[in-house]
A and B are shown apart, each in its own frame.
Chain A
Amino acid sequence: MKCLRCKNSAVISGFCKNHFCSYFETKVKTTIKKYNLALKTEKIAVACSGGKDSTVVLYLLKKFGFDVCAIAIDEGIFNYRNKTLTELKKFCRDNKINLDIFSFKKEFGYSLDRMLEKTKTKPCTVCGIFRRYLLNKHSSKFNKIATGHNMDDEAQSILMNLFLNNSEILVKLGPRPGIVQDEGFVPRIKPLYFCTEKEVLAYSFLSGMKIGFNECPHIGKSYRHVVRDCLNDYESRHSGTKKNIIDNFLKMKFGNKSEKMNHCTKCKMPSRSELCSACLMLSQLKKC
């Protein structure tokens, strides 16, 4: 298959290497502009794990000319976080980006592994609570916290909160999450909101980032893991499902302004179109 914009072979999303990178960067820039995520005058803390998503956000915000600093949380997960933080330290050193690391052990007295020995609460719940707490606490001098959440993460979160009847959490989602403003909360932004996880990996690979595959040892115990596999299975059979989930969520959150009720010109019943669906279907049946 040829690239949609030149004669080179396509490698992903219908584009060759160069045109894919350009398409990806434009998509991120458009998301930042459309949802007013950040200004060049603002100081942005990028919440980094050392994985591909947050590293790509850090790289792109710096490339676009934003004032960025990396913040990482060392939860204390044996044989996992130490590896990703080593990669992050190297990336920040090579790209001359300031990096601050805060640990559960130093801040709370326990590593995550030790906390999990003392509670039956799910690992992702414990980790998420303390990780968000530390990120917010140490970002008070910044205007925004940018995270590496991508389209897959967001589609999974929407479904998880629907399935679990968590409407109060569901309504907070979006490229600029949260509905309550408080001076103690640093606003969060998700520049990769419209990028699939596959596109993010492709961009990191094609940009020469050396990011190894690392998976948290606790992932198998999470509900997200179940929803992620179901959604990937569904996407492989019904392409565009993830995009439809987030597009519909945004329509519900920000309102569908195009909604206007008319009346069918033939039967006079309420209809959004000139002809109602029943009259349209009948006219098609009569032609057969």
Chain B
Amino acid sequence: MSQEQHIPPAGSRRAFLRTAALGIAAFFVYATRQQTTVDISSGPREGLRAPAIVLGTLGGAEMSLADVNGRVVIVNFWASWCAPCRAEMPALQRLYDAEHAGGLDILAVNSTVQDDPAAIAGFATEFGLTFPILLDTTGDAGRHYRVQALPSTFIIDRRGVVRRVLYGGPLSEAMLRAAVEPLLWERA
């Protein structure tokens, strides 16, 4: 003979556990919310402060990344013998011509340590480059940006934070514009 009793059903215990677990998960989501301050580390990856660059230019002066603080900067590592670098230089120049007044700067860092110094000036003349060309004679800038292949391009916002890392090339003007234009609209 069976007797019906209103004992606590297993289902209600499971419902309680479910609610508790989902509550804990929701609390975890809230507790691990992202802090609004930028990660103070520097490094060549999205979200980190761009590593410093201080190099001599093709014109003989010295230039640093800090000199273009508050502007959107494309740092492009290249060499004169690198075919994709050659192919993307006209696109970089066109973008520079169009957007320099709007807040864009381009630092073309030549990997001089693995290039022929005599060929660099000829390269700049051949493509009519008007943006600064920096000479990485020791390879330190390339090391700080962990450059393992040419070209490598880093897009830095007005706060000095790396926003895009682009390995390889040639990059098209349209692709670069899509990456740069939203940053030009941002405030420092």
The yes or no verdict on A and B being binding partners is: no
